[in-house]
Each structure stands twice: as structure tokens, then as C-alpha cells.
Structure 1
Amino acid sequence: MFERIAELAIRRSRLVLVVAVVALALMGVAGAGAFGKLLGGGYDDPASPSSRAAKVIDEKFGGETNLVLLVRAEKGRVDAPAAERDGRALVADLKKDETLQNVISYWDTDSTDLLSKDGREAMVLVHVKGKDIERDENATAVIDAYSGPYEESLTIEAGGGAAVNSEMGEQSEKDLLLAEAIAVPLTLLLLLVVFGSVVSALLPLVIGMFAIMGTFAELFLLGSVTDVSIFAVNLTTALGLGLGIDYALLMVSRFREQLAGGASVDDAVRRTVSTAGRTIAFSAATVAAALGALMVFPQYFLRSFGYAGVGVVAIAAVSTLFVMPALFVVLGHRVNSGRLPWAKARPSGGRMPLWGRLARTVMRRPVLTALPVLVVLLAAASPLLGITFGTPDERVLPEDAHSRQVSSALRDDFSGNDAAALHIVLDGAVDKDPLQSYAVTLSELEGVVRVEASTGTYAEGRSTAPGPANAALARPDAQQINVVSGLAPKSDAAQDLVDEVRSLDAPAGVSPLVGGTDAVLVDAKDSVADRLPLAVALVALTTFLLLFLFTGSVVQPLRALVLNLLSLGATLGVMTWIFQDGHLSSLLGFTAQPMDVSMTVLMFCIAFGLSMDYEVFVTSRIKELHDQGEDNESAVTHGLGHTGRIVSAAACLLAVSFFAFGTAELSFMQMFGLGSGLAILLDAVAVRGVLVPAAMRLLGRSAWYAPGFLRAFHGRYGLSEGGPEPVAAAAPAAERLPEKSPTEV
């Protein structure tokens, strides 16, 4: 297959490039519409009890409160004559808005629960109608229309889930623009340093552009038929630019190496595609397998990253395999044009002496050199022993965000947080007495401030005066009960309350569904925990199979899995130390909170996939030299000498794309960017530079072991590097490794 791709590029190079340009233009047109199709939210499982409760409330009770308007009097109390007049006018205007329903306020209920402790603020609870994009657009329109001064006596700020999602979407776009403004120029500068030539440095950006535009087009198509998260855009830009550079860097380096060795342009293209091209295909398959595992999760937030990740990897690989060879044919030796003054000739064969010397040192003393690295990685992973999980809320926003300030006011200034209430749905008709008894029992639970049911309002096991809104909680075939607590939303105590409510015996003949913010968190954690073993198994199995097909060894895949898990554990441990434990919070400007369960899973898959990317880069060259007859030690030393510079340069360039998101105002995007960038650098330096040669030395010949029947299988179906290639002369005797015991330190 790779030979045919090379011949197509050689014979039809200009046609390939014309088709590529047309495809890029079409992808750009389609991709421009992606942003109008993408959604916020998506952290809950549609099949969970909390999601089913929300669906019943939407269908039968007009929907849960998803927007809270915090109304503040400019002077005095909100029940003063002027403020009350303007407040009633506000409520009347809201009730006329066809995009809103279930408008409940202090002024038309006289409920002191909707009045702040000092009387200067009042709540208006609203449900914004619509599904997905329509709801987001309606919420944004309402927020824009009513936020700020109202009439002469009131000021309004918006909070609640709809407002948080709206501000998160807006902030995400700003963060993305800033990250790109940092990453693109810095990446171009680094490419110039790495290649020392203007033309060579621009080629990886071409592949990055294909990957990003193509994935935007994919997201547009998927967003037209299913729910896709707006945050998939962030992964698309970071991974598209990074992988495009990774793959192009490998191709360009191999092509230039062939030209420097005296090969003709056509032969250089053939050899580049059959070796580097094959490596890229396998690398893309391993990364796609890791990111594809995200699709097993029911939350569309996670699935969206799977859609974007698999798409961007596939498009980057395909464009590299077809567009780059055609560009090589057209450019020929001009690929080195625009050579910069600081560029120096590379050592013979493209080796980087530093990486060769490092590999030689490690293999002479494998235990002595590997042990300190292992200790550091394990110490970095130790914070995982205390990890806790949550889902994004207003705390991921900057402290001056309006929806975050509203949430703080609701928590500090009101008795109970109506916006974070638990909503219980009883899916059938219930008599008054058992319903009242159930509500009384709920009100006796620790932390509960009050319980609202159609039969009345209850606090500490006693009935209080029912409000005008209580009657709306009854339907002929269903009942809704609101449990308002004084517990901090998403705290351990709030989650324990969800479990207690669900464990209570409901009235006979009905099954309760418990929804609300805290119930969504409990269900999200349970859902991820249920699917995580399947996702991990899929990643491990596909990685093992692909690496076996690539190397013909059963030991190499196992070695790769173990070493990748070490660097991944260290990365997640450092992120827990920073973002959960709060270290560096003042420097980075975030609020410490439990690790975002979805983002942690995402980092696992991305970091694992990219680790396998560099695993394939390094192993492919080692195996190529081993197949040409070099012994294990020599193959590893020379293989890292060939690929070390490529891997380190690719890692730095890809890390820049992710580290740029460290400037984000959304804390979980900071964690995503810093964590992914750190994982890449740890893998490239600690794992590839030290642990891989140490493990290969300790394993010796067994590194390439496979049972006889699997060797036969690989001989028939496996894929390896292309045919023989002239290699540099053997290292002088003084440079050869001495024969020593693998365990010698």
C-alpha cells in the first residue's frame, strides 16, 4: 500500500496537490458552520436517574429551574414600594417571554425563602425552554436582555446552570483565541529552529491546517445529527496543530536524510513513505484507539472529544501520507531552501549525538540510571492516593464572572440554595397521607432546610405554611418534591444526602427519581466508573495488538504499556497536587476543587495515546536496525540516535500547543493544557530517553520474544518497516558497548 502511495505522489504530484487544495477549501467552508452546531454542558448520563427525573419534570411540570435572576435593590430592601413595583414588572415581563416558563419569584409568592437574609436581594427562578442549542440561545438572549440595571430601583445578575454554561462557552472562545495567538507564532519559531530552513519549517503547518479544517468539517456534520460539545474545538486546535507537526516532522526529517545520503528525489520519496509513512500509519492507529475509547462513555462531553480526537488523528495521518510526498516531489532539493544562518550540518546519517550518548550511558548502567527516574515518577504520582472527583460548576470560571458571583450570593445570603435543590419525581398518583409522610421524613434528614410538596412545606419534621407554588408540584399521574438543603453544592455531605434520599422507602406503588445538581454529580461519577474498565481494556487491547503487529513481539507491547502508565500516573498526580490540593492556585488564578471526572478521563486517553505516538516513533527505528542485523544494544543506541532529536523536537512543539491553554481562564481547560503538555514532555525525556533503553538492556534478547504460533501469524499478517536500507558504518570499536550482564549497574 505504501509503495502505491509513493508512486501516486511521484507520477501525479500536481494532481494530488490540486485535489488537496480543493478538499481544504471545502472543509473550510463546512467547518465554518461548526461553531453554530456545538453545545455547552454534556456532563450527565442521559440514562441516569437524574437525567430521567429532569426529563419527566420537563414534560409534566414545566422544567427544572435552570436560570436564577438575582435581583438587588439599589437602595434599601426589595420589598420597599419602588423596588416591589419594579420587581412585579420584571416578573410580568418574564412571564410574557415565550422562551420561559415556571417563573417563580418573591414578589408573587411572598416566600421568605426567596428573600435574602438582609432583605436587599431576591431570587427569580426560571426555566428556559428549548433543547440543546435552542435552550442555550434562549438563555443567552434572556441574560443579555435583563442583566444590569432594571427600571430605576433594581439591578439584575444571572446565575444558575444556563448562565454558567453561557459564560463557559463565551470564555472558551476567548481562551481558544488567546491560546492560538500564543501557540502558532511560537510553534513557527521553534520549527525554524528545529529545521533551520524556512521551506521545511512551513511544511508541518500545512498538515496542521488540513487536520484542523478537516476536523471542524467533521464536527459540523456530527453536530447536525447528534450532540457535540463546544470544547471539542479546543482539542481539535491543540491536537491538530501538534500531530500535524509531529507527523510532518518525521516525514520531512526522513526525506532530508535520504537526500543527504545521495538518493534521488523519487527514491527518497519511496523510502520515506515506506518507512516514516508506515510508522505514521501505526502511530495514528494507536492514538486513535486511545481517543476512540472515549466514545464508550454516555456523556456527550466525553464522546465529543472522541469524535474530534479520532477525526483529527485520521485526517492528520491521511494528509501527511498523501500531501507531503507530493510536496516533496514538487520541491525536491528546494525543501532545504531558505536555510537560516544558525543552521548547521547534521552528523552523518541524521544522528543526534546527545541522544546516542544518553542511550549508551543508560544501557551501560540500566538500573543505576533508571532507578532515580522511577523514584521521581512514583513520587509525582503519590497525590493520586487522595484524589476526589467532581463535575464543572461555576468555580471553573474566574472569580469576577457574573454567574459565579450569583452562586456565591445564593450560598451566603439565602437560607438554603433553591438553585441546587434535589428534585424528586414520583411517577404515579399518590394519596395525600403517604405523600405527606414521605415529605416529613425527607425534611428530617441532616442538612435539609425544607421540603416542598403539593401537600405543603416541611422543615425538621414539621409542617409550615405552604406557598402559592406548592400546588404546581402535583399532577394526576405524578408528584414533584423539592428538597432544599443548606449544604455546599457538590460537597461530600451533599452527595451523601443524595444517597440517603434514594435509600428511603417511597410511597407504595411509585418509584422515585432523584434529580438536581448533586444527583447529576453522583450519577456522572457512577456512570464513568461503570464504563472506565471497558475503556481501559479497549485501549490496552488495541494498543497491544497494534504494537504486536508492528514489532512481532509480545514483550514490546507489555513494556510500552507499563512505561506509559508510569508517566501517565506521574502526570495525573501532579495535576491532582496542583488543581485539587490548590498548590500554585494563586499563580495560575484558579479555585481548588475536586478533579473534574470527565477531564481526568480525557487526559488519560490523550496522554496515553500521545505516549504511544512516540513509542511507535522510537520502536520503529530500533526494529528497523534490529531487522538489519544489529544486536539489541546497538539497535537501541543507534535507533535513539536517529529518532531522539525528532521525538524531543516533536514533543516540544506538541507541548507548546497544549501549554498555551495554561493561559485559559477556565480552570479545567488549564488542567487539560498543562496536564497534556507535561505528559508529553515526561514521556519524551524520562521514558524514551532513559526508561526505554534501560528496559531494553535489562530484557536483552527476550525483548523481541513471541511464541512460535504468534511469530508465524506476524510473518503472515504483521507489518514492518520497508526493505533493507543502507545504514551508516558500524560504530568504531571504542564506541561499542562492552559485553556486560544486563543487571550490571
Structure 2
Amino acid sequence: MMGVTDPDALRDRRLFRFGGFVHDRRGIVIVLSILLGAGLTSFAAIGPDWAESWGEENVESVAAIEIVQRISGGDDANPEAVILYYSSDWSFFDANTSAAFRQAVNDSLAQVQPTVESRIVNITTPWDVNDSLTLVNMVSDDGHHVKVTIEFKGDRKEAKATYGDVRSTITSDVLTIWRFGGIGVDWSFDHRLEEDLVKAELISAPLTLIILLVVFGTIVSALLPIGIGAISVGAAVGSIILFSNLSDVNQYALNICSLIGIGVSIDYSLFIVNRFREEMRLGRDTRTAIAMTMATAGKAVLFSGLTVAIGLMGMLFFKDTSLPSFGIGGTIAVSLAVLFSLTLLPAILSYLGPRVDAGKVPFIPTPTDKDDGFWGTIARAVMAHPLIVLIPILILLIGAGLPFLQVSFGMVTYESLPPDDEARQGIERENEVWLNSSSDNSLVIVVEFDEDTEWRDPAALEVLYNLSKMVNETDGVKQTRSVAWISSEMDADAVKMLWGTPIEMLPPEMASIRALVEVSSEKAANGSTAIIFMDLEGRANTDASKEIVNRLRDIRVQYEDEPFVDRILVGGFAAYNVDTLELVSDHLLEAMLFIFIATFILVFIQVQSVVIPLKAILMNFLSITASFGMLVYVFQQGHGTDFLNVTPAPIDPINPVLMFCIVFGLSMDYEVLMLSRIHEEWERTGDNVQAVAMGLQRTGRLITGAAAVMVVVFLAFGTSSMTMVKQIGLGLALAIAIDATLVRALVVPATMRLMGRANWWSPKAPWSSKQHAELPDGSSE
């Protein structure tokens, strides 16, 4: 009987012929591949143009904040940084020390002056302010803390670049300083992401090489995946940077590119090199070995790449979030990893031939092709008692996922920065001194009237007053401010009188109030638009704050029916939290259906079975469930957070989706590789038990090595100082470790044994019948 491992059985298959083509034209393939890789990598030199948002104009909370920014600062509002100063000896209110305090502040800002060259528009200190309402927000009650704002020219990207240039010059020998504000926090996030990316690569590279040396046992074989990984990731980085200049791509795409690209490019190269060495050990000539490698491992890599890309492309469904940027970065990285693994790598192997095993590493045994090795023994032991193995593991994995039932979702805040970060400490100090004054703890309601209605009109003020009153009475709202809610002692008629009467005709007491709030009203109302500001008692990313947002949106409904009211928007960080969670929920089903259906089709084509793709999809949930449980147990409930140097907080709704898409794709990656080999043995022998044992024996060492590479890469990213990146890195590492050990080594053999020949059933595939004969194309039934 001719088996599929016989070259004659595969000669008519496209990838077999493609392997021969690459071998025969290996010089041209290598030159073209290197030119392509170098060309794409060179685009990194043009520099990125990262998007500062994710196309969120359609999100209510974002639209509301954009209106607030336009009214508060005008169309030319400039990005700001905040510098917080503290002196234990001097006070702003102390006539004897205020001058010294002021001089020390000015000295610290001596090298930061508003000039055309410096791209700094304005610097405002408390000593420059005459407005008492503004002064309250710039000076603490005891006068020992003062805030200075620095306005930058240009958009946020330009402002961050300028801030990065001048930040180090803002120092003082006599004052304690915290540099933060919107631009300062953004700069800290970007700066730490860049540092963490470099650190992760420096950690993962040597460890990956050690793993490859252990897996292959020779230096040349181990270096090949490293080389392919380097050119693949370099090309992917250049491609993403080019794409960022052509479309909206967030900086996070670069981190995902490295996170995914390093792992899959090395894994795919590992699969190809391993199969080539296996074919060479069978005594084949180099050309036949390359062709056989491409027809078997090459096919598995192609389908694996497609399944990973499908998982990543599932993130493209989540419009107006950061997920499409992750999906773009990951898909580009995977596509290039597949391309170079199927072209450049086999071309290099064609030159090397048997020299691929050069450089034997001492004390590491050379892999053998024996049928009764460690992994085959495990598979047979599991299949001898499948239920005894399967049931406890299912209980363990499902139990590990139970904490996810208690998940609380909340967007990333400044607390994602490490506790020792200066920008985070500045916000925490500000909240401590000014009692939770951070903008994260604030909400706004934007009321837009029709173009014929001014906010000063009596009917408009009536709506603003009633709405402000209801907001102020809402549980969880600490304070409310608007042009119609200046004091709880003023009723609607008094508010109408305040704004509808010339100031010189108002009673003295009311005229004083009018004079006091006249300036600040310019930032709270303009033309047909008015803003209601409110401070929350709790944190913005809590369930209580989300409930407040929902109540406010219920309250506004009764006022939206007024004929002169155009629209009412609720904005602020808590509202953005609610909107993002809704965006994720709204698109989750369609994304999952896309991933499941596309993956099912691909795996069906690969293994020619209906049962196995369904089973593979279900088993992937085991790995994902356990990693989700860890996410909540550690990062939300706080177990081990001291060791990890993070602050317990709600889980960002983006993270589980991101992890699901990545883990699902990578889990199917290993599933496809193993099932391809099992299917190959099934076609050759027709014995389900033998096929599973042989498939696991042939791929166990390989999958363990590939998974170890992935785990090392993910753990390296888990060392990030950023909580969000740490969550993703550790979560992915755990999921892949579980998938490659418990699931692939134990659950798969157990379920394959229980299903028996039904594993290979397909209503339209004649080779799934119990007969097992030759087919004309060289496969068997």
C-alpha cells in the first residue's frame, strides 16, 4: 500500500511542486526574499504617524468631550501638561514666603519658555491668575501645593514630542515636582511601551535560542528560525509604520506585531526545519526532501497561518475601539511569517542540505524518528483510560475559569502605569490634595439646542435648570456645575433672571454672582450649546459609576422631546467606559461567528473531517477559559499583585477579546499541526489509535518546543511595567502552556480515542468510510 509519506503519492500536489520550484530557483528566491524583507524594513526609517484615537467620532462620549474641548478652549485649544509643585516651608497664601515660592517655580521653568522655536504657547502659574474660581483648582487650601499648566502648539502627537524634549529640563532643588497632565500621562504610556518592547525582545531572544538548541540539538538548525523570525518581524514593523502614515493605526499595533510576529515566525520555521531534517534522515535527496517538506509541513504552516490570521482578523469587527489596530498589526506579522517560512527558508535549506545538522550541541540528544518514544507512550497510556484522564482535567480547567464569572469591566486608567511612575503619582497626589479632582472622575452632559435657540433663552434655561437639578440629586454625583446650577438656593426663575437681565439692572447680590460666574460661563456655554459638569463620588471605572451613566442617559430622555432641543450627550471617562463595553458587546457575536465558521472550514479542508474541527473549537475554549479566570483572579481580585507590581482594577473589556482572538488562532495553530500529522498517519494506516499515538509522537517534541518559544515571548512581555501589557503577556503565556500540555498531550488523545473512527466522519468525503483503500491522488480511504 502506498502511503502519503511516499513522494510518489504527493507529486501532483501543488505544494510539492512548489517545493521543487523553490529548490531549483533557490538563488533567485533568496535574493528576492531578502530584497522584499529589506525593502519593507526600510519603511521604518520614515517614522510612524500613530493615530491618537481609533475613529471614535461615532461614540457618544467621545463626541461630547470634543464639544466640551471646543467650547472650553475654542477651535484652537492647545494640548496641556500639568506640573505640580510642593513645598513644606512655603505657601502661596503666606505673604512672607509666596515670593520665594514663586521664584522657585519660575526657576524650574527657566528653560521652558513660550517661543516659536520651543513650540510652547503659554505657561500659566497661579500668580498669573485673577479668576478666583480658576485659582481654586490651581492652589491647595493650605497653599503648599500649586499647579502650573503648559500649553503646547500643534496636535497631541506634536505636543508629546515637545513635552518629551522639555520634560527633563523642568527640575528643582528646593521643590518636589510631579510632571503629568493629559500630555504627560500620554507621554508616559508611549515611553513605557517603547521601553517594554525593547526589554521583551532582549529577554526573549537568548531564551528562544536556548529552546531551539534543545529542540534541534544542532546550531545551524537552531539559528535558522531565529534568522527567519528577525527578517519577518523587521518587515512587519516596517509595513506597520508605513501603514500608519497612510491610515489610522495606533501604536499598540507595533507591540502586537512583535508579540505575535516573533513567536509565529519562529514556530513556523521550526515546523519546516524539523520536517526537512526528518525527510533527510529517511535518505531522500535534498530536492525531494524540500518538496516533501512543503507538501506536508508547508501545508500545515499555510493552514496554521490562515487560522491565526482569522483569529486576529476577528478584531477588525470591533470598530471605534483599539482592537482593529491590534488585528492589523498581528495579521501583517503572521502573513509575512508564513511568506518567508514558505519561500526564503526552504530556499536556504536547499543550499544547506545535510549540513542543516551541522554544529552538534554537546549533551543534547539528536531527535529520532522512533515510534515508541515519550509522546507516543503518553498517548497510548491516555487512550487506554480516556475517561479517567479526561474528566479530572475538564473539571480542573473549567474550575480555573470560574473567577471570570465575577469579572468587572473597566477601561484602562492611569493606574495601568506602575505605582512608581511620576505621572501616576502626580495624579494620585492631585486627587489626594484636591479630593478626587481628576478628570477621570468627572462626567459632562452636553445639551445642544436648535440653531434658533440660545442657551440664555428662558425655555433653554428651564431645561438646563431642571436637568441640572435632577443630575445633582442622582446618587453618586458629588457636585454639579452649569450656567443654570450655580447654587442650590436658586430656583429656575432666579436663573432666568440672572442671565436674562442686564447686569446693571440686577439686585446687588445677584449682580455680584453674575460678575463672579460671567467669565467661567464662557467655558460652560456658547451659542446654542451648554454643558453640565459633575464630579463623581467614586472612581470612574467602577460598576457604580457605570450605573450613574446609565441613569443619566435615562434622565435625559424626557428632555430630548422638547422641540427646541437638538440632542443631549453624556460624556466623560465613565461614559466612555460604558460606550466601549457596549461596542465590544455589540460586535462580539458576529466576530465569534466569523472566527468559528472560517476556522471550521479551514480545518475541515485540512483534515477532511466534520467532527475534528468542532472538537478542536470546543477544546480551545478550555485554554481560553483558564486564562480568563487567571485574569480576574490576579489582576481584578488582587492575588499576587504585590509581586507583579500592579494595582488591582477592573478588567479592560478590550483584553479578553484580544486574548480570545490571539489564543484561538494560536491554539488552532498547534491543533492543525498535530491533526495534520495524525491525519497523515490515519491515511497511511487506517488505525485511529495508531494514528493518534504516531501523530503525537512525531509532533509532541515539536509542539512543546514551539509552545515554549511562545510562552517565553509572552512571559517576556509579561515583564512589562504596564498593567495592560502585563495582563496580555501573562494571560497568553498561561493559555498556550495549558494548550500545549494538558489539552494537546492529554485531552486530545482521550477524546480521539473516545470518538474512534467517528473522528474522521464526513458526509461528503468518501475516505471517511471504514474502508481504507488507495485513491487515485495518492491519499487513501
Q: TM-score, normalised by structure 2?
A: 0.85
Shift of the 82–342 alpha-carbon distance from structure 1 to 2, 3 Å rule, reads same
CA–CA separation in structure 2 for the residues paired with 1:461 and 1:398: 45
Given residue 701 of structure 1, which amino acid in structure 2 is its aligned partner? R
Figure out how many residues of one structure are paired with residues of the other and give that number. Answer: 713
CA–CA separation in structure 1 for the residues paired with 2:206 and 2:739: 25
Q: Deviations over 1:365-402 (max 9, x none)?
A: 10001112111101111101101111111111111212
Q: Does 1:493 align with 2:544?
A: yes
Residue equivalent to 1:552: 608
The 8 Å contact of residues 384 and 576 in structure 1, kept in 2 or not, is answered as: yes
Q: Does 1:38 align with 2:60?
A: no
1:425-504 alignment, distance < 5 Å: 425-428=446-449, 429-430=454-455, 431=457, 433-434=461-462, 435-455=464-484, 457-458=486-487, 466=517, 468-504=519-555
CA–CA separation in structure 2 for the residues paired with 1:99 and 1:497: 38
Q: Secondary structure at the match of 1:504?
A: helix
Indicate which of 280, 285, 306 corresponds to 1:285.
Answer: 306
Per the TM alignment, residue 328 of structure 1 is displaced from its structure 2 partner at its CA by 1.1
Q: Deviations over 1:204-239 (max 9, x none)?
A: 012211220121122112101222222222222232
Per the TM alignment, residue 701 of structure 1 is displaced from its structure 2 partner at its CA by 1.5
CA–CA separation in structure 2 for the residues paired with 1:224 and 1:303: 16
Q: Report the more deviating stretch, 677-686 or 52-61.
A: 52-61
Residue equivalent to 1:365: 385
Q: Does 1:536 align with 2:598?
A: no
Per the TM alignment, residue 141 of structure 1 is displaced from its structure 2 partner at its CA by 5.1
The 8 Å contact of residues 451 and 459 in structure 1, kept in 2 or not, is answered as: no
Q: Does 1:267 align with 2:288?
A: yes
Residue equivalent to 1:734: none
The 8 Å contact of residues 440 and 461 in structure 1, kept in 2 or not, is answered as: no
Given residue 591 of structure 1, which amino acid in structure 2 is its aligned partner? T
The 8 Å contact of residues 85 and 105 in structure 2, kept in 1 or not, is answered as: no
Residue equivalent to 1:54: 65
Shift of the 291–405 alpha-carbon distance from structure 1 to 2, 3 Å rule, reads same
CA–CA separation in structure 2 for the residues paired with 1:476 and 1:129: 26
Q: Does 1:110 align with 2:132?
A: yes
The 8 Å contact of residues 183 and 657 in structure 1, kept in 2 or not, is answered as: yes
Given residue 373 of structure 1, which amino acid in structure 2 is its aligned partner? I
The 8 Å contact of residues 291 and 309 in structure 1, kept in 2 or not, is answered as: yes
Q: Report the more deviating stretch, 274-283 or 546-555.
A: 546-555
Per the TM alignment, residue 456 of structure 1 is displaced from its structure 2 partner at its CA by 5.6
The 8 Å contact of residues 198 and 339 in structure 1, kept in 2 or not, is answered as: yes
Shift of the 436–538 alpha-carbon distance from structure 1 to 2, 3 Å rule, reads same
1:112-511 alignment, distance < 5 Å: 112-124=136-148, 130-131=154-155, 133-140=157-164, 143=167, 147-149=170-172, 156-299=177-320, 301-348=322-369, 351=371, 353-417=373-437, 419-420=439-440, 421-428=442-449, 429-430=454-455, 431=457, 433-434=461-462, 435-455=464-484, 457-458=486-487, 466=517, 468-505=519-556, 506=559, 508=562, 509-510=564-565, 511=567
Shift of the 667–252 alpha-carbon distance from structure 1 to 2, 3 Å rule, reads same
Per the TM alignment, residue 632 of structure 1 is displaced from its structure 2 partner at its CA by 1.0
CA–CA separation in structure 2 for the residues paired with 1:327 and 1:722: 30
Per the TM alignment, residue 670 of structure 1 is displaced from its structure 2 partner at its CA by 1.1
Indicate which of 689, 692, 702 corresponds to 1:646.
Answer: 702
Q: Does 1:681 align with 2:705?
A: no
Q: Deviations over 1:665-718 (max 9, x none)?
A: 11111111111111111001111101111111111111112223x76999xxxx
CA–CA separation in structure 2 for the residues paired with 1:629 and 1:588: 50
Per the TM alignment, residue 540 of structure 1 is displaced from its structure 2 partner at its CA by 0.8
Per the TM alignment, residue 280 of structure 1 is displaced from its structure 2 partner at its CA by 0.5
Shift of the 170–11 alpha-carbon distance from structure 1 to 2, 3 Å rule, reads same
Per the TM alignment, residue 268 of structure 1 is displaced from its structure 2 partner at its CA by 0.5
Shift of the 441–688 alpha-carbon distance from structure 1 to 2, 3 Å rule, reads same
Residue equivalent to 2:504: none
Residue equivalent to 1:22: 35
Q: Please tell me the root mean square deviation across aligned C-alpha atoms, in Å.
A: 3.1
Q: TM-score, normalised by structure 1?
A: 0.89
Per the TM alignment, residue 278 of structure 1 is displaced from its structure 2 partner at its CA by 0.6
Per the TM alignment, residue 72 of structure 1 is displaced from its structure 2 partner at its CA by 2.9
Q: Which has the larger radius of gyration?
A: 2
The 8 Å contact of residues 67 and 163 in structure 1, kept in 2 or not, is answered as: yes
CA–CA separation in structure 2 for the residues paired with 1:425 and 1:102: 29
Shift of the 153–628 alpha-carbon distance from structure 1 to 2, 3 Å rule, reads closer
CA–CA separation in structure 2 for the residues paired with 1:105 and 1:288: 54
Q: Does 1:631 align with 2:643?
A: no
CA–CA separation in structure 2 for the residues paired with 1:653 and 1:711: 39
Per the TM alignment, residue 142 of structure 1 is displaced from its structure 2 partner at its CA by 6.4
Residue equivalent to 1:11: 24
Indicate which of 538, 550, 570 corresponds to 1:514.
Answer: 570
Per the TM alignment, residue 127 of structure 1 is displaced from its structure 2 partner at its CA by 6.9
CA–CA separation in structure 1 for the residues paired with 2:374 and 2:198: 37
Residue equivalent to 2:8: none
The 8 Å contact of residues 289 and 542 in structure 1, kept in 2 or not, is answered as: yes
The 8 Å contact of residues 73 and 83 in structure 1, kept in 2 or not, is answered as: no
CA–CA separation in structure 1 for the residues paired with 2:367 and 2:438: 67
Given residue 354 of structure 1, which amino acid in structure 2 is its aligned partner? F
Per the TM alignment, residue 533 of structure 1 is displaced from its structure 2 partner at its CA by 1.3
Per the TM alignment, residue 342 of structure 1 is displaced from its structure 2 partner at its CA by 1.9
Per the TM alignment, residue 567 of structure 1 is displaced from its structure 2 partner at its CA by 1.2
Given residue 524 of structure 2, which amino acid in structure 1 is its aligned partner? L
CA–CA separation in structure 1 for the residues paired with 2:717 and 2:536: 36
The 8 Å contact of residues 74 and 153 in structure 1, kept in 2 or not, is answered as: no
Given residue 679 of structure 1, which amino acid in structure 2 is its aligned partner? A
Shift of the 99–389 alpha-carbon distance from structure 1 to 2, 3 Å rule, reads farther
Q: Deviations over 1:588-613 (max 9, x none)?
A: 11111111211221111111111000
Per the TM alignment, residue 626 of structure 1 is displaced from its structure 2 partner at its CA by 0.9
Gaps of 5+ in 1: 715-719, 726-745
Given residue 249 of structure 1, which amino acid in structure 2 is its aligned partner? L
CA–CA separation in structure 2 for the residues paired with 1:4 and 1:118: 81
Shift of the 480–401 alpha-carbon distance from structure 1 to 2, 3 Å rule, reads same
Per the TM alignment, residue 619 of structure 1 is displaced from its structure 2 partner at its CA by 0.4
Q: Secondary structure at the match of 2:624?
A: helix
Q: Deviations over 1:443-488 (max 9, x none)?
A: 2323333323234634698898637322332211212222123322
Given residue 609 of structure 1, which amino acid in structure 2 is its aligned partner? G
Q: Secondary structure at the match of 2:592?
A: helix
The 8 Å contact of residues 450 and 460 in structure 1, kept in 2 or not, is answered as: no
Residue equivalent to 2:498: none
Shift of the 396–441 alpha-carbon distance from structure 1 to 2, 3 Å rule, reads same
Shift of the 437–124 alpha-carbon distance from structure 1 to 2, 3 Å rule, reads farther
Per the TM alignment, residue 493 of structure 1 is displaced from its structure 2 partner at its CA by 2.5
- What percent identity do the matched residue pairs reach? 32
Q: Does 1:82 align with 2:99?
A: yes
CA–CA separation in structure 2 for the residues paired with 1:574 and 1:224: 37
CA–CA separation in structure 2 for the residues paired with 1:64 and 1:31: 29
Q: Secondary structure at the match of 1:489?
A: coil
CA–CA separation in structure 2 for the residues paired with 1:667 and 1:179: 15
Per the TM alignment, residue 525 of structure 1 is displaced from its structure 2 partner at its CA by 1.0
